[in-house]
Amino acid sequence: MKTKEKIIITATIVLLLLIVNYGRLDEVDITRADTLNVAIKKLEPLHQLPAKPGPSDWLASHEEDGQSFDVYINSRPIRPTIKRNKLYVIPLGTFDKRASEIIAESAIFMGKYYQIPVVMMKTESLDHVPDYAQRINPNSGMEQLLSTWVLDKFLKPQLPDDALAMIAFTSIDLWPGKGWNYVFGQASLRERVGVWSIARNGDPNIDEKSYALCLSRTLKTATHETGHMLSITHCTAWSCNMAGSNSLEESDRHPLYLCPECVAKVCWSTRSGLGKRYAELLSFTQKNSLSESTDFYKRAINILEN
Ligand SMILES: [Zn+2]
Ligand SMILES: [Zn+2]
């Protein structure tokens, strides 16, 4: 056999081996998945099956099969890497004192929820938004910002190299373009940018209850959408923060915490410890009087320790 043919055959074999091994899980990932599969079974008794969807709920109009932990880890999801391992958060617009507190708390919570460092950036004004990217909604009369402008023209040009994702929180409502009324948020999963608004989460200034509701809604949207950015799709297996919502009312019915399958996806993806994550979230929810989550994390920690 000629040298040139030998080189071609060797190169072909190497290429085939690379293709076969591409996407295979390494030993550490497999061991981590095995450990998490044991935890899933332990946690299941704490969780409820999803309620049957009503006629205007998400699953009544969207055909979704869900995504098991095994399906997730074999889907080559987006994960933090040595190079891209931070979440950047930018407040965009004008926020009063209470709303600013909610954004700051949301950034802290996202870091604990995903066990990823968060970089809080300084608030940017809406002064530089071009005319085509803002409007008054003809139905609601609400001031709105074009979500695609935020993603493409505001976030993408300043996306840091070490960002797993960069997320803008806006004080005003969003719409994604012609034919749309509004959206709560929008994310470009492959391009690592996302935007969500707090405008429909209620006025946090009325009393402590209204503050807690606005905080809980903002945390829920922030963590649900960040989950999508880690390639986690909608959950249909359990009552879960990763379940789809057609409305604020439906989203209010979902818990802020994750079901056993989805929490396993997060811990596997971010290579983080389940117990450490739960302990950090418990401390946050206790401090912020989020009673449903506090009760859940206490029971989860207890069940994992026994
Ligand atoms: Zn979603
Ligand atoms: Zn789930």
Residue 12 has pLDDT above 80, yes or no: no
What pLDDT digit, counting tens, does each position of 84-128 carry?
999 999 999 999 999 999 999 999 999 999 999 999 999 999 998
Residue 2 inside a domain? The answer is no
Residue 3 to residues 16, 17, 267, Cα–Cα distance (Å)? 20, 21, 49
Give the domain range for residue 141: 23-273
Q: How much is the average pLDDT of 188-213?
A: 92
Domain containing 124 — which CATH number? Answer: 3.40.390.10
Residue 9 has pLDDT above 70, yes or no: no
CA 204–ligand 2 middle distance (angstroms): 28
Start-to-end CA distance of the chain, whole Å, equals: 65
CA 253–ligand 2 middle distance (angstroms): 14
CA nearest neighbour of 154 among 91, 111, 102: 91
For 38, the 3-state DSSP assignment is helix
Q: Are 89 and 120 in contact (CB under 8 A)?
A: yes
CA 235–ligand 2 middle distance (angstroms): 4
Pairing of strands 163-170, 86-92: parallel
Q: Are 215 and 190 in contact (CB under 8 A)?
A: no
Residue 178 inside a domain? The answer is yes
Q: Are 292 and 282 in contact (CB under 8 A)?
A: no
Q: Which ligand neighbours the alpha carbon of 229 most closely?
A: 1
Residue 18 inside a domain? The answer is no
Residue 177 inside a domain? The answer is yes
Q: Are 218 and 31 in contact (CB under 8 A)?
A: no
Instruction: Give the model's pLDDT for residue 7.
Output: 62
What pLDDT digit, counting tens, does each position of 250-275 carry?
999 999 999 999 999 999 999 999 99
HEC letters along 244-296: CCCCHHHHHHCCCCCCHHHHHHHHHHHCCCHHHHHHHHHHHHHHCCCHHHHHH
Separation between Cα atoms, residue 44 and residue 167, nearest integer Å: 32
Separation between Cα atoms, residue 237 and residue 5, nearest integer Å: 54
What pLDDT digit, counting tens, does each position of 58-88 carry?
998 898 999 999 999 999 898 999 999 999 9
CA 227–ligand 1 middle distance (angstroms): 8
Residue 243 to residues 4, 44, 55, 138, 300, Cα–Cα distance (Å)? 56, 17, 16, 30, 20
pTM recorded for the entire structure: 0.89
Instruction: Give the model's pLDDT for residue 2.
Output: 64
For 299, the 3-state DSSP assignment is helix
Q: How many domains does the chain have?
A: 1
Separation between Cα atoms, residue 175 and residue 14, nearest integer Å: 49
What pLDDT digit, counting tens, does each position of 245-255 carry?
988 899 999 99
Residue 203 inside a domain? The answer is yes
Q: Which ligand neighbours the alpha carbon of 264 most closely?
A: 2
User: Letter for the amino acid at 70?
Assistant: D
Q: Does the CA dihedral 147-195-153-164 come out positive or negative?
A: negative
Cα angle 189, 30, 85; round to 5: 35
Residue 221 inside a domain? The answer is yes
Residue 15 has pLDDT above 70, yes or no: no
Q: Which ligand neighbours the alpha carbon of 242 most closely?
A: 2
Residue 10 has pLDDT above 70, yes or no: no
CA 234–ligand 2 middle distance (angstroms): 7
CA 183 to chain centre: 16
Residue 288 inside a domain? The answer is no
Q: Are 176 and 146 in contact (CB under 8 A)?
A: yes
CA 218–ligand 1 middle distance (angstroms): 14
